[in-house]
Structure 1
Amino acid sequence: MNVKKYLAYIKVVETGSLTKAADLLNYTQPSISQMISSLEEEYGFALLVRQKNGVKPTENGLKVLQAMREIERGYEKLLGTVDGINGMETGKVRIGAYISIATNWMPRIVSEFKQRHPFIEIQLYEGNASELDDWLEEDTIDFAIGSSHHHKWDFRFLLEDPIVAVMSTRHEWAQANIISLQAIKEAEWILPYPDSLFEVHNFLKKEGIQPRITYQIRGDETILAMIRHNLGISLLPRLLLNSTILDGIATRPVEIPLSRKVGILTNTRKHAPTPAISKMIHFIKEWVNKEVGE
């Protein structure tokens, strides 16, 4: 069993490019190509489909990808254990997070964590709720920082994140102290798609509100830009809003308090955490308690 070949194939699939994978793994592109060809010859079927703009896994390639990732995880755990015995801290941690968390938390978390554990590699993936679910299921990430909108994953609570009404400072409701349900029914909305903010869509459904959706947007930054130009209002998590973003934007509480529970999501069915993953999870919990509060 040649673990290096598996790691090469995994990286090619993740990047969609033999050249990019070679750069990341410090190989030449022909070396990566030879590794993949060797695996294909050994298995008796093709692993990749070559396209003009890169490569993608074949159907059979996807079937073996999960097993290779499990081998990768076991290999990393072995190396981490050996390094720990020898007094060294190494390993790799792959974290998925909402854009609001990746932007407002992760730069500081990673910076402070790397000061304590300089030889642990951190990979960060930004995504919405559905993407985090997919990445956990496919073992693309080791854990996610997101909201508890179902009970599919093991959830470790970090904080309650209020969801507020967000509008332009020029909007008529910017002068109100609180936004009523009747006002919400009359509003022109800029809403994220249902695969992003489940809590908002569930709230509207529960209260029997059929929103007048003027725009439906996937990107948080685009939603905020359109709100700033007074094209509608939205309901967004407070974590998404920092002092810079709030320029030209007003936030108000809703008549019925609304929030989302943010925490660490792990797929305990897949594997136990490596020492590096455990250290990062523990560090994040400590950091949130200290910097954000419960």
Structure 2
Amino acid sequence: MDLKKHLAFIKTVESGSLTQAAAILNYTQPNISQMISKLEEEYGFPLLIRQRHGVRPTANGLKVLHIMKEIQKNYEKLSETVDNINGLERGEVRLGTVTSVAVKWLPKILREFNELYPSIKVHLFEGNSTELEEWLKDDRIDAAIGTSHSEKWYFYPLAEDPIVAVMSPQHELAQCETVPLHVMESVKCIVPYPETHFDVLKVLKEEKITPRVAYQIRGDEAIIAMVRNNLGISILPQLLVNDCDVLIKRFDRYVSRQLGILTAHAKETQTPSVQKLIQCIQEWVAVHQASV
């Protein structure tokens, strides 16, 4: 069994390109093409459909892709376990994260993690909740920090993040100590799309509130900039808007999202590197939770 060929096929499918797979794995494009051709000869059926603008897996290619990924993952776990037994702490982790965590938590967490485990490399993937769950499903990441909307993932809670009203100091509600949730129906609102902030819109849906939408935007920075210019108020997670030069007001009823670590597999079955990173994240948040 040649794991290099498996990895060449996996990366080609993930990137949709022989050239990109070659760049990721530090091979030439002909090398990647040759490895996949040899796999096709060994298996007796095509794995890829070669198109003008890239490649995609055949139906049979998809059937073996998942098994190849499991073999690759188990091999990585074996290698890391052997290294750990021999006193060597090295490996790689693919971590997905929502934007607010990437900005507010991860720089400090990764600094501590790098000091503890300098030979473990962490690859970061920033995305919204929908993208993180898609990447977990496709095994493109080992773990994610975000919120869970499905019971199919293992979920390790980290902290509650209040969902708050965000506004300009010049807004008519700026003097209010708290903001009634129902006021979202009467003032101009700048709201995110469901796929970017599912938890925010879930709160509005549960409270049967239909906001008076002035603008609907995907980008967090754009929402905050428009709020800062008093084009409306918004409803966002507090972790995202801390230190953003806008007024933050709690609602008259406490609402929040639950941040945690999501994995497709139980923590104890992950590679030692993934287990170490999960432990580091949990310990850091436990110590700093009051200040985040």
TM-score under structure 1 length normalisation:
0.90
User: How has the CA–CA distance of structure 1 residues 36 and 286 changed in structure 2, closer, same or farther, with 3 Å as cutoff?
Assistant: same
1:253 partnered with 2:247: no
Question: Are 1:279 and 2:276 an aligned pair?
Answer: yes
Q: Which residue is 1:145 aligned to?
A: 145
TM-score (norm 2): 0.91
Percent of matched pairs sharing the same residue: 54
Q: 1 CA distance for matches of 2:129 and 2:139? A: 15
Contact 1:174 1:251 in 2 (8 A): no
Give the letter for the 1:251 counterpart: I
Query: Any conservation in 1 of the 2:3–2:72 contact (CA below 8 Å)?
Result: yes
Q: Deviations over 1:12-52 (max 9, x none)?
A: 23333333322332222221121122223333443334455
User: Offset of 1:269 from its aligned partner?
Assistant: 6.7
Contact 1:148 1:260 in 2 (8 A): no
Question: Which residue pairs with 1:114 in the alignment?
Answer: 114
Structure 2 portions without partners, runs of 5+ = none
Aligned position for 1:229? 229
Equivalent residue for 1:46?
Answer: 46
The amino acid of 2:180's aligned partner reads: S
Shift of 1:175: 2.5
2:91 is matched with: 91
Residue identity matched to 2:238: R
SS at match of 1:172: coil
Q: Give the number of aligned pairs.
A: 291
Residue 282 (structure 1) shift: 0.5
Change (3 A) 1:102 1:34: same
Contact 1:83/1:90 (<8 A) preserved = yes
What is the RMSD of the two structures over their aligned residues, measured on CA atoms? Answer: 2.2
Q: What per-residue deviation string (whole Å, max 9, x for no partner) do you get for residues 62-95 of structure 1?
A: 3322211111101101111111122111222111
Tell me the amino acid that sits aligned with residue 146 of structure 1.
G
> 1-side partners of 2:15 and 2:100: how far apart?
24
AA paired with 2:259? Answer: V
- Asked whether the equivalents of residues 6 and 68 of structure 1 are also in contact (C-alpha less than 8 Å), the reply is yes
Cα displacement (A) at 1:143? 1.3
Closer/same/farther in 2, CA of residues 270 and 30 from structure 1, 3 Å limit: farther
1:290 matched residue in structure 2: 287
Answer whether contact 2:154 2:266 (CA < 8 A) is retained. no
**Equivalences for residues 59-208 of structure 1 within 5 A:** 59-208=59-208
- How far 1:236 sits from its partner (Å)? 0.6
CA offsets 1:101-147 (integer angstroms, 9 cap, x no match): 11222222222212211221211111111122222222221111112
Aligned to 2:20: 20
AA at the equivalent of 2:98: Y
Q: 1:263 aligns with which of 260, 269, 272?
A: 260
* Gaps in structure 1 of 5+ consecutive residues: none
Q: Would the alpha carbon gap of residues 83 and 253 (structure 1) be closer, same or farther in structure 2, given more than 3 Å must change? A: same
Counterpart secondary structure, 1:30: helix
Shift in CA distance, 12/111, structure 1 to aligned 2, threshold 3 Å = farther
